Structure 1
Amino acid sequence: MLEHFPFYLVLIILIVLLIMLGSRIKVAYPILLVMAGLLISFVPGVPVLKINPELIFIIFLPPLLYEAAWAISWKELWRWRRVISSFAFVVVFLTAMSVAFVANHFIPGFSLALGFLLGGIVSPPDAVSAGAIVKFVKVPKRLSSILEGESLLNDASSLIILRFALIAVSTGTFIWHDAALGFAWMIIGGIGIGLLVGLVFMKAHQWLPTDVNMDIILTLVAPYVMYIAAEEVHSSGVLAVVSGGLFLSAKRHRFLKVSSRLRGENVWQSFVFLLNGLVFMLIGLDLPEITAGLQQEGIGFYEATGYGLLITGVLIAGRMLAAFGAVVVTKIAGRFITVADKHPGLKAPVVLGWTGMRGVVSLAAALSIPVVLDNDVPFPKRNLILFITFVVILLTLVLQGLTLPVIIKKLKFRDYGDHFPEAETEECLRAGLARESLNYLEQQYAGELKNSAVLQQLAGQWQIDLETEGAIHYPEPVRRIYREVLEQQRRWLLDKNRSEQRLDEETVRKFLHHIDMEEEKLRIG
């Protein structure tokens, strides 16, 4: 390990440079990292990066899922819950089933159980890849919300399929009623444990005399505790992290101090940035080991590549059919129940169907397959499954990833009217905050406002700009009043976000961030 440490440092620097290059040439960085890892793997003398399969999920998944849960808007998740749920659960299951039957029929020696195992691995699209691609082009907010919500939940459904498929391969049997009970426990237990652990961590932040560093460390530890606790009782660690992350995200302003929120945000961005970079580079670097395993199983490179192309075609076709099928279901359902959009059109399904890039979760799931079964027999077709997964990830990233921005630009989406325009939203919130702040001052501190020139000046500035440059040097009585006003602003924003469906929560969070910065300036001023 230590003798390869300089190589790891060079790898991290290379990751940073490639991500910078991707931003410059407007190409999603997962594509560049996978291709770079693939090229580096052919360089003689390059050390092989090997991670214990049992640790793959624990290292990468909990923090990535937790950060995604904190970043997503619960309001948008609930608003598009029907289409998100259908893609995250129904479509994932149908995709896994399609892959299972195709693999069983066309790949020699592939049982249905192995097919479902492969289907569970390659069925969930990758959120990081889609997010990195669509940031270069403008897509409707509803589409980005659906993609974010789907990616947060489809990992859980695919890994549940993976777990039961592993049991079927290992034991050679599959008992439906046991599977149904196990499925229910994985969902209920995972969500329950995530909420319980989240509540414990929230109380720890509230009751213990923590400082900023301790708060950040607790947030880093929380997803790992949620995941491990759920897995120890054989429920879904993914659902535990997602549910716990969503719970703590919704309560963040109640238990995290302003400084902890501001500094923790920077720490988490850097941490997730590094994890994503490493895992996409790992995808490319892992090819030599996978191809060597193919030779041990007596499978030719071109034959295995053909199987990978076949499965990739099934995945792309299946997702496109699901996207257009969702339009039909929406139009039919709109006659009987209230849906968010009774006329979704045909442009959105094209983009939703084409955003099926695979990545982090598929790689982690494939690498987590044990090398041997419980009876010390080599796991059947393990290396072929790894190779097919690699082909799927590479093809979907390159083919769909490079063409998706072009497709989005050609489609020229209309404004669906789901959200107020960004400029209008900012102006509305700015005016509302100023009005709320002035009303609070006049009602609670009318005497101080009348006698204090500083408070009068501060009140006048609210209608111009909420954020000022540099530290604020005000007398302590004014600081105390200003802190109360900022807290009132924060409550008003959160209430406004809950009550107004068309407000974009991302913009609301920008204003909350401004308020946190104002309060931090008061602390250090």
Structure 2
Amino acid sequence: MHTIEVVLAMLVAVVASGYLVRILPFSLPLPLVQIGLGALIAGVFKRGHALEPDMFFLLFLPPLLFLDGWRIPKQGLFRDKGAILELAFGLVVFTVVGAGLLIHWLIPAMPLAVAFALAAIVSPTDPVAVGAIASRVPIPKRLMHILEGESLLNDASGLVCFRFAVAAVMTGSFSLAQASLTFLWVAFAGLGIGVAVTLGVSTFQRWLWRSFGEEPGAALLVNLLIPFAAYLLAEEFNASGILAAVAAGITMSYVELTGRISGSMRVQRTAVWSTVQFSFNGIIFVLLGEQLPGIVQRAMDTIAVTGHSDWWWLAIYVVAINAMLVVLRLVWVWLSLRWNLLRARWRGEERANQTSWRVVLAMSVAGVRGAITLAGVLTLPLMVPGGEPFPARDLVIFLAASVILVSLLGASLLLPRLLRGLELPRDDDSRRVEDLARKLSSKAALAAVEKTRQQLVEGQTTTNVQLYNDAAARVSLLYQRNLEKGQGPDEDPEMVRRMEQAYRSLRTAGLTAEREELFRLTRHGQIPDEVARKLIRNLDLLESRQRD
């Protein structure tokens, strides 16, 4: 019964957090509010929920990583693949070595292999945390694409380094060759399995639709189960389930481009996935808050292993480790940028604008840690093979949790100041591509309308011909506006913008009035419920399209 109460309390905390960030007089990122509510739940129930890392990985991470891979802009991902790979793999190794040595120097009582394990588990950034920060901070699109791509790929490299550091503690040996081969298998097998699962399930599902018809509820459930299937299958083959879930999501975005899914199903699927994303993101950080009181208490009890007894030494360790992580990231980002500029000059490419130092610093501060770090560090063994306790286990868990909190807080406080007033190039190309897409799709629509009109009027009476012609004219007018929009040489862009705003306001007012009248008619029993639901859903879809 206690577990059910805690789960319900977590869901209530997730709902409450969404309102608290709006009510509070000062601005706080949503994850920090959820962490605070989680700590409050642990205090009320006198103990936090016992977190099982394997269950945590399986239940929460696959769908969230799948969705991130699905929605991440692919053009930006492949355009900046060099920078993303340098951060996702090169920076992880650089952080493990650099931070591991510095942590061992800072805390000599912590064995070197344990220090490397701590550095490895805090090296990957978290896509959930990055997305939560981005929702409140105006991060430039290209920078955000790089951060998202990095956080999706660096989990595998960080966890592999963590696994081998822990193995070194347990066995007392380490093989670089074996670690390299294992990493290659973990990464490439995980990616391959993720792609294969999505393609296989999608192909089988299309065959079912062609043979027996489309069942929206079952199709939606299958879509929700794909990330779990990819994750479990990859883990069964000792590959990266995390990369498998990411690859499955990226593959799903390409499957969707085939256009074989109905619009109504896409609307339902978007609503369901948005709910899953909000709920799971919130529960992750509420769970972190629930673990905090116990983590802090155990760290206080074991601080003596460092040779100190005062609690403020923990604060010194936290500040020092976070500072070294930011500095190492800053150094790597700067070196990577200089190297890319040098390569561009060798290829004869002209780079008119150098990247602002504030963007480089912002990219360093934006390395937010989250769920991957928490779940990974909690998998540390309790004892080594000889029966002795794992060295400094509680201290490592405390330091990793502190890195999550400080990185979230630091990004929330510093990013707005670093990016405030920063003049970035206008994204005119994106606007131009969008206008071109609208015009080309409108031309295709006009041609299809005319072809369908000709088919419909064949052999019809004069009355029906006139009806079809009027309907075609009304539909064609909608698409003609896209072709003519902004094409006049003397047309005032500001006038066009105001006209569009007025059109949307008037259209929204009309839709609202229609909906209110349908509600009134239903309340008075003048129309059946099922008719009202159908008509209101149509109005809702029109309104959602109006807002896009």
Q: What residue is the counterpart of 2:535 in the other structure?
A: none
- Once the two structures are TM-superposed, the CA of residue 83 in structure 1 deviates from its matched residue by 0.8
Cα distance in 2, alignment partners of residues 156 and 11 from structure 1: 29
* Paired amino acid for 1:287: L
Q: Does 1:174 align with 2:174?
A: yes
Alignment partner of 1:334: what SS? helix
Cα distance in 2, alignment partners of residues 160 and 341 from structure 1: 37
- Once the two structures are TM-superposed, the CA of residue 121 in structure 1 deviates from its matched residue by 1.0
| Structure 2 contact 137–415 (Cα < 8 Å) conserved | no
| Structure 2 contact 197–230 (Cα < 8 Å) conserved | yes
Q: What residue is the counterpart of 2:437 in the other structure?
A: 429
| Structure 2 contact 95–119 (Cα < 8 Å) conserved | yes
Which string of whole-angstrom CA distances, capped at 9 and with x for unpartnered residues, describes residues 19-53 of structure 1? Answer: 23325665320122223334554x35433211223
Cα distance in 2, alignment partners of residues 203 and 464 from structure 1: 38
* Paired amino acid for 2:376: A
Q: What residue is the counterpart of 1:486 in the other structure?
A: none
Alignment partner of 2:186: what SS? helix
- Once the two structures are TM-superposed, the CA of residue 427 in structure 1 deviates from its matched residue by 4.0
Cα distance in 1, alignment partners of residues 107 and 446 from structure 2: 71
Which string of whole-angstrom CA distances, capped at 9 and with x for unpartnered residues, describes residues 360-409 of structure 1? Answer: 21111112223334565432222111100111111111122222112211
Cα distance in 1, alignment partners of residues 200 and 416 from structure 2: 43
Alignment partner of 2:51: what SS? coil
* Mapping for residues 414-453 of structure 1, pairs under 5 Å: 414-415=424-425, 417=427, 419-421=429-431, 426-442=434-450, 446=454, 448=456, 451=465, 452-453=468-469
| Structure 1 contact 65–152 (Cα < 8 Å) conserved | yes
Question: Where does structure 2 lack aligned partners over 5 or more consecutive residues?
Answer: 459-464, 484-503, 512-537
* Paired amino acid for 2:226: A
Q: Does 1:305 align with 2:303?
A: no
Among candidates 394, 411, 415, match of residue 400 of structure 1: 411
Among candidates 232, 239, 242, match of residue 243 of structure 2: 239
* Paired amino acid for 1:165: A
* Paired amino acid for 2:443: R
Q: Does 1:286 align with 2:291?
A: yes
Q: Does 1:457 align with 2:487?
A: no
Among candidates 376, 384, 387, match of residue 395 of structure 2: 384
Cα distance in 2, alignment partners of residues 44 and 185 from structure 1: 45
Cα distance in 1, alignment partners of residues 299 and 449 from structure 2: 72
Which string of whole-angstrom CA distances, capped at 9 and with x for unpartnered residues, describes residues 202-223 of structure 1? Answer: 1232122451111121122111
* Mapping for residues 80-229 of structure 1, pairs under 5 Å: 80-209=80-209, 211-229=215-233
Change (3 A) 1:104 1:203: same
Which string of whole-angstrom CA distances, capped at 9 and with x for unpartnered residues, describes residues 451-496 of structure 1? Answer: 42212221112234799988xxxxxxxxxxxxxxxxxxxxxxxxxx
| Structure 2 contact 99–116 (Cα < 8 Å) conserved | yes
Alignment partner of 1:27: what SS? coil
Change (3 A) 1:335 1:190: same
| Structure 1 contact 28–129 (Cα < 8 Å) conserved | no
Cα distance in 2, alignment partners of residues 76 and 340 from structure 1: 20
Alignment partner of 1:419: what SS? helix
Which string of whole-angstrom CA distances, capped at 9 and with x for unpartnered residues, describes residues 35-86 of structure 1? Answer: 3334554x35433211223322112221111010011011110011111111
Change (3 A) 1:338 1:376: farther
Report % sequence identity.
29
Cα distance in 2, alignment partners of residues 340 and 72 from structure 1: 28
Alignment partner of 2:345: what SS? coil
Q: Does 1:328 align with 2:332?
A: no
Cα distance in 2, alignment partners of residues 354 and 140 from structure 1: 14
- The number of aligned residues is 471
Which string of whole-angstrom CA distances, capped at 9 and with x for unpartnered residues, describes residues 139-179 of structure 1? Answer: 33211211111111111221121222222222221112222
Q: Does 1:31 align with 2:32?
A: yes
- Once the two structures are TM-superposed, the CA of residue 352 in structure 1 deviates from its matched residue by 1.0
Which string of whole-angstrom CA distances, capped at 9 and with x for unpartnered residues, describes residues 421-465 of structure 1? Answer: 4xx555443333222211334457545479422122211122347
| Structure 2 contact 453–472 (Cα < 8 Å) conserved | no
Cα distance in 2, alignment partners of residues 115 and 160 from structure 1: 15
Change (3 A) 1:169 1:517: farther
Q: What residue is the counterpart of 1:478 in the other structure?
A: none
Cα distance in 2, alignment partners of residues 465 and 17 from structure 1: 42
Change (3 A) 1:374 1:205: farther
* Paired amino acid for 2:280: L
Cα distance in 1, alignment partners of residues 207 and 165 from structure 2: 43
* Paired amino acid for 2:472: L
271-280 or 158-167, which deviates more? 158-167
* Paired amino acid for 1:228: L
Cα distance in 1, alignment partners of residues 429 and 15 from structure 2: 35
Change (3 A) 1:284 1:292: same
Q: What residue is the counterpart of 2:516 in the other structure?
A: none
Alignment partner of 2:346: what SS? coil
Q: What residue is the counterpart of 2:515 in the other structure?
A: none
Alignment partner of 1:116: what SS? helix
Alignment partner of 1:463: what SS? helix
- Once the two structures are TM-superposed, the CA of residue 123 in structure 1 deviates from its matched residue by 0.9
| Structure 1 contact 227–237 (Cα < 8 Å) conserved | yes
* Paired amino acid for 2:98: S
- Once the two structures are TM-superposed, the CA of residue 419 in structure 1 deviates from its matched residue by 3.4
Cα distance in 2, alignment partners of residues 159 and 67 from structure 1: 21
The TM-score with structure 2 as length reference comes to 0.79
Alignment partner of 2:108: what SS? coil
* Paired amino acid for 2:410: L
Question: Where does structure 1 lack aligned partners over 5 or more consecutive residues?
Answer: 471-513
- Once the two structures are TM-superposed, the CA of residue 286 in structure 1 deviates from its matched residue by 0.8
Cα distance in 1, alignment partners of residues 206 and 325 from structure 2: 46
- Once the two structures are TM-superposed, the CA of residue 265 in structure 1 deviates from its matched residue by 1.4
* Paired amino acid for 2:417: V
RMSD (CA atoms): 2.9
